[in-house]
Amino acid sequence: MKTYLKISLIICALIQLSACSMSQLTVRASMPMIEGGFSAMNQQTDLGLAESALPANISLIEGMLINDPDNDDLRLYAAQAYYGYAFGFIEDGFNENNTPIQANPARAAALYKKGYHHAKHVLLSQGLTEQLLSGELEELQYAINELDIDTVPALFWAASCWAKSIDLNRDKAQNLAQLPKAVMLMQRVLELDEHYYMSGAHVFFGVYYGSKSPMLGGNYKLSEQHFSLANEANKNKLLIVKLLQAQYLERQRFNQQAFHDLLIQIQQASETLYPEQALINQIAKYKASLLLNKEEQWF
């Protein structure tokens, strides 16, 4: 009987190995390199180098996904990479050493959409079906309420990429009609883990409530609260929070002094303020200069 049991266990192990191809094993063995690459990129202070490296990193991830399409971690890295590249360098453009990348919102929207599809793939594996995501709000909300903390990363990146894609396609009514669904996904992140990804859900809702007038559903008090909570959680070291507060909340409520002061604070911040997130702080500094150039036009 013991011999039979051993043989059965060996057969089961062989079946599992055969189900996981050599290419999949190679991809999974390479995951620590991908994780290390993202950590190194986050600490990068040279925007030109980061802009040059990100497309290659995205292509690498996409290639790995061909061999391991159900690798949830890899899918979420892809969503994060598409979001970072679109936000950092494509949406508002980028100019380094006289080789400018022109602002291209249409391309940025397409990149955000690719990021959304990767995160959505993970959500589908976690129980949110395509039918739910494209169906009625009430049914989707019920399903979202059943999700647990393990789904937070997929919810966060799906909502982030989806909302940005929608925001850059505001001329299409059918796209705007999908925004409440992205908001519902992020609301669940807020409920399950408000501090995930540097309190990104609070930043999301700071923008969401601050970018619209109260007549259209905006709420300046709520926006300010969310930005304040994000700043508190990051010990005022994450400059992108101040940038987005200036760009969306202060511009919307026409507070030029606060707009100007926040952007100057960003520009004067130390290069070593937040070494672990140096890249996003450098992006905030670059974008602050773009916004200051528009101050007279907007106010």
How does pLDDT run along the chain (299 residues), one tens digit per residue?
A: 455 445 444 434 434 444 467 767 777 777 787 888 889 999 999 999 999 999 999 999 999 999 999 999 999 999 999 999 999 999 999 987 656 789 999 999 999 999 999 999 999 999 999 999 999 999 999 999 999 999 999 999 999 999 999 999 887 777 788 999 999 999 999 999 999 999 999 999 999 999 999 998 999 999 999 999 999 999 999 999 999 999 999 999 999 999 999 999 999 999 999 999 999 999 999 999 999 999 999 99
Residue 51's nearest CA partner among 74, 31, 75, 81 is 81
- Asked if 181 contacts 162 with a C-beta cutoff of 8 angstroms, the reply is yes
Instruction: Report how many domains make up the chain.
Output: 1
Q: Rounded distance, CA 154 to CA 123, Å?
A: 6
Residue 42's nearest CA partner among 229, 269, 198 is 198
Compute the half-sphere exposure of residue 87: CA atoms within 13 Å on the CB side of its CA: 24
For residue 127, is it within any domain? no
Residue 280's nearest CA partner among 197, 223, 159, 175 is 197
Q: Rounded distance, CA 98 to CA 189, Å?
A: 41
For residue 57, is it within any domain? no
For residue 225, is it within any domain? yes
| Phi–psi pair at 91, nearest 5 degrees | -60, -45
For residue 95, is it within any domain? no
For residue 281, is it within any domain? yes
Could you list the residue range(s) of the whole structural domain that residue 295 is in? 211-299
Q: Rounded distance, CA 115 to CA 78, Å?
A: 6
